[in-house]
Structure 1
Amino acid sequence: MKQLKYIFILLTGGLSIISCKKSFLELAPEGQMNEGNFYKSTTDFQQAVTGAYVPLRDIANFAFFVDEMRSDNAHYDYNSKDRGGLGYEQLADFMDNSQNGVIGNRYQADYNGISRTNVILDRLEKITFSMADADKKQIIGEAKALRAHYYFDLVRHFGAVPLHLHEVTDKNGAYLPRSGVDDVYKQIINDFTDALANVAAPKLPSETGRITKGMVATELGLVYMTLKQFDKAVPLLQSVTTMGYDLWSNYADAFKNENKNGKESVFEVQYKDGNDGQSSGFIYRFIPNGNTLNILGLNYINQNGGWNTPTSDLLQSYEAADKRLDATIGVVEGTYDSNVDFVPARVVSSVNYTTPPNVISKYFVRKYLHPPYTTIPDKNFYYTKENWPIFRYANVLLLYAEALNETGQSSLALGPLNKVRFRAGLGDITTTDQTQLRNIIAHERRIELAFENSRWLDLVRTNQAIPVMTAYGIKTKAMFGYILPAAYNVTTEKLIYPIPFREMQLNAQLVQNPGY
């Protein structure tokens, strides 16, 4: 991987992020800082740590193509008039290859974040000024947690990857062979373990976006669960239940902008509205193409939509009276005009919905619809402040229930599981049969975390990706004639993505994943 270019980015504009006195949410550079004048104070290091969070947004902006649309939760609204989104469709249909841009951008963003954390950690060892122990511990903890997070993202999506643990200062350091999956996981565990001992406990409502012990314990627990080491996950996840987090009484409240970083938020990617490069636009991706006036209240022709569309398979999986359905999935009713373009008319509930005569209905992810929306003058796009959830407390409870069940403590698993179900308006689960409970928890995770980029990774983690997606592919190809016969060939090789083509060209020591 050509990391030298990341060092250049980091040591120029990428370092001068913000003053710590401002909100942590404000992550964009405000100028340039010469490398020779930087890393001279605690504030400099704190600013650099802030910069190491920025690639989280670069990943979240497109992660749903890779993690949700790859699953049975989401598909896409086929646009026969505009085939510019073919690369996105290929990800959903298991037809992607090493030249897919989304895959390449995710790989690059992860290593961008890793490069920034490596510089911080290496430079911190060489400081000649006095730094308070508490500040030093927090900087080390955040940097190591971020590095572990980026490597966990890489190993789950690409398998074995180059393991860069120091600042790249020459060509030899920039080009490394792939390290084994076991070695990558060992480093992830080491980094998270160190981070857990250094970062602060959560203070709710927490400082916007900061990594805390809650985030580290949760993700380290998930790492152990991915490795089938459930006994090590149990105490970590149990500890998170004592840190002050709680569920909002209404499911929809967990996603409202006024509740960002609130009591249910363990970790989320930060965005703010405006045209300074820190805004999000998820809702424009998820609603249908067409004029947004009757959906968002803005007179804007959206040409970015039709992605992450809820599937009928998911809709049919909701239990009767589950309050999460209405909060998660909506319906846009409309018609086609003479140019066969969709004209949205109104948004309605998906609960017990049947399409009326002479009406076209399109399902969309309602979870991220939070009007009113405002415009940016002289811009042709509308920017939002919608954060992206990585870990909610409901996720922690379900992971905890799963880990308890897998360690033979099924009766104890019922408590966290039923806490999530109670909020959804559903009755308690009473069975303690491990196999039955395993399936119930998996279903609960699918519904509770729908469109939060967990479904595909859960299927892979629980060895269900091949059977579930093969069966789903058969049904989907029967429904949609535009899907190629070769689609949904879900093999072991397809459980991870290819190493991006451009990385293979840059680094002769890389070997491509089988099947690509």
Structure 2
Amino acid sequence: MKNIVLFLLVAAIGCSKKFVTLYPEGQVNEGNFYKSTADFQEALVGAYSPLRDAANVAFSLEEMRSDNTFLDYNAKDRGGSGTEDLAEFLDNSSNTTIETIWTADYQGIQRTNVILDKMKTPPAGMNDSAKNQITGQAEALRAHYYFELVRLFGSIPLYLHEVTDAKTAVVNRSSVDEVYAQIEADLSDALGKLSPPTKFPQSGAITKGMVATELGHVYLTLKQYDKAAPLFQSVTQMGYALLPNYADVFKTSNKNSSESIFEIQYKSGTDNQASQFVYYFIPTTPSTGAILGPSADYNNTEGSLNIPTQSLINVYEPGDTRLDASVGVIKGHLDAQTDFIPDSVVSILSNKDTTGRGYGFTTSAAHRFIKKQYNPPYTTPLEYNTDDDWPVYRYSDVLLMLAESLNEQGQSGAALPYLNQVRKRAGLPASTASGQAMLRDTIAHERRVELAFENKRWFDLVRTSQAIPVMTAYGTDQKKAFPFLLPTSYNVTPNKMIYAIPFRETQVNPGLGQNPGY
């Protein structure tokens, strides 16, 4: 646990009176901080920040692990292969992306623990409303970080208090059940402290709607459908609504809209809060101007990741407006150095691939890319610097999880109206699926296309015990289509349902052990 333990050790030393006894005026330090409501609110902002650090890499572990996206193989650059390994089930404990998300989530947990411990003796003058808002958001954040970690890694260390010395910085793993029990406890308490949104667009802070949604999602993951359904139903009474046009959901002008339950906030500029997802998702190219706009013509070396697959494109129904809103095609040509030079962005509806292999793997004259984080023209003079948020929960997700939780209780008739709200917005006829098994498949299909590229697919496959059969079949097709794949790729075993504990963590704390198969 080198990174997180070192982080916690620094925090512990910083909190020790032995080392810090003087508090210069104007310097933020524990000795002169947490003295007012404003101090706690500022600390809470800091506890949100690791959400961005985790989201910046999460698509590699939570979307590219699935049959929704792959990568554009770049024969000229065979440097780091960490993301490729994750997509092809070749990852191990030394994968740096795994370490990045582990560290980000635990930094978020440490920051929430400090807030929650300090709130045991709140400053004079802090009213009950402020106490509830700060405590509820901190609890929900801690639960959110743990929910991601437990689904990615299984049993993990459970930190519930501020680390104040070196001894408490090293903690061995708790069971999955213990971690889920703490997640449930945090979200249940936060549910009683927070309120639903009062206006749209929202501020971006966690509300009662997000807490109810995530707690329902936890129960859905644990197959406690009778507990999940009432929570999702409560969210339908909080003022949320689907936007009329699916494509509008992802426009930067519609951040934190009535469809947004919770999204990770990004802001372009020089204060380290910008996103850069579009750079990952467009091709690697020496010239981005034809894609991003003439004011954003850069040499993009970060691209060709999270490419929509032929497998996904094939399952969109005719007339489904979500396809064109979610996937775009970049046409271009190869220069003398065989670099891809984009010419224009075109609609996938009139530029569908017919090879079965997907654009970008044959002539390299066209590339698919994700449009949900694509809001041109980009005018900032800063490369890798955009405003696009990352959606965590949308109202359509709630409707589909509610439909699933009702169907799994044998209430398919009650589930259909929620499913059909989502289909209607997509321009599709109402589903008439009957029976639990048929409706289960229909809901899974709707989740795949409605929430494509939002880091839901891999978790959905694992949660519904479909990861091994689906990804094994998909891997067989991939190896037929792409000769560069190793024979050992897509060996989808039960051990691969979670990731390895980062190698450096196990070296600092051998008591952690390692997950089976790694």
Shorter-chain TM-score tier: over 0.9
- Cα distance in 2 for residues equivalent to 1:36 and 1:439: 57
Q: How far 1:10 moved relative to its partner?
A: 6.1
Cα pair distance change 1:4/1:193, threshold 3 Å: same
Indicate the residue corresponding to 1:68 in structure 2: 63
Q: Deviations over 1:349-368 (max 9, x none)?
A: 11142469988111111121
1:118-137 correspondence to structure 2 within 5 Å: 118-127=113-122, 129-137=124-132
Indicate the residue corresponding to 2:415 in structure 1: 413
Cα pair distance change 1:185/1:36, threshold 3 Å: same
Residue 363 of structure 1 pairs with residue 368 of structure 2: yes
Indicate the residue corresponding to 1:472 in structure 2: 474
Indicate the residue corresponding to 1:304 in structure 2: 302
1:191-340 correspondence to structure 2 within 5 Å: 191-290=186-285, 291-297=287-293, 298-340=296-338
- Cα distance in 2 for residues equivalent to 1:507 and 1:408: 46
In the alignment, is the contact (CA less than 8 A) between 2:332 and 2:343 conserved in 1? Answer: yes
Cα pair distance change 1:269/1:335, threshold 3 Å: same
1:39-50 correspondence to structure 2 within 5 Å: 39-50=34-45
Cα pair distance change 1:459/1:32, threshold 3 Å: farther
- Cα distance in 2 for residues equivalent to 1:82 and 1:157: 29
1:27-106 correspondence to structure 2 within 5 Å: 33-106=28-101
- Cα distance in 1 for residues equivalent to 2:135 and 2:454: 28
Q: Deviations over 1:8-58 (max 9, x none)?
A: 7669999xxxxxxxxxxxxxxxx9511211011111111111110001000
Q: Deviations over 1:197-244 (max 9, x none)?
A: 011221231542100010000000000010010000000000000000
Cα pair distance change 1:118/1:335, threshold 3 Å: same
For structure 2, list consecutive stretches of 5 or more residues without a partner in the other structure.
16-25, 355-361
Q: How far 1:275 moved relative to its partner?
A: 2.1
Cα pair distance change 1:49/1:414, threshold 3 Å: same
Cα pair distance change 1:513/1:358, threshold 3 Å: closer
SS at match of 1:385: coil
Q: Deviations over 1:317-370 (max 9, x none)?
A: 100110000000011111111211111111111114246998811111112111
Percent same amino acid at aligned positions?
57
Counterpart selection for 1:374 from 365, 379, 385? 379
In the alignment, is the contact (CA less than 8 A) between 2:72 and 2:304 conserved in 1? Answer: yes
- Cα distance in 2 for residues equivalent to 1:244 and 1:35: 40
Q: How far 1:184 moved relative to its partner?
A: 0.4
- Cα distance in 2 for residues equivalent to 1:480 and 1:108: 34
In the alignment, is the contact (CA less than 8 A) between 1:13 and 1:32 conserved in 2? Answer: no
Give the length in aligned residue pairs.
Answer: 497
Cα pair distance change 1:113/1:268, threshold 3 Å: same
Residue 6 of structure 1 pairs with residue 7 of structure 2: yes
SS at match of 2:510: coil
- Cα distance in 2 for residues equivalent to 1:398 and 1:45: 36
Matching residue's letter, 1:436: M
Q: Deviations over 1:399-435 (max 9, x none)?
A: 0110110111110111110000000000001223100
Q: Deviations over 1:374-413 (max 9, x none)?
A: 133xx5x241100000000011110011011011111011
Indicate the residue corresponding to 2:461 in structure 1: 459
In the alignment, is the contact (CA less than 8 A) between 2:70 and 2:87 conserved in 1? Answer: yes
Matching residue's letter, 2:275: S
- Cα distance in 2 for residues equivalent to 1:416 and 1:42: 41
For structure 1, list consecutive stretches of 5 or more residues without a partner in the other structure.
15-30
Residue 155 of structure 1 pairs with residue 157 of structure 2: no
- Cα distance in 2 for residues equivalent to 1:403 and 1:78: 39
Q: TM-score, normalised by structure 1?
A: 0.93
- Cα distance in 1 for residues equivalent to 2:380 and 2:251: 19
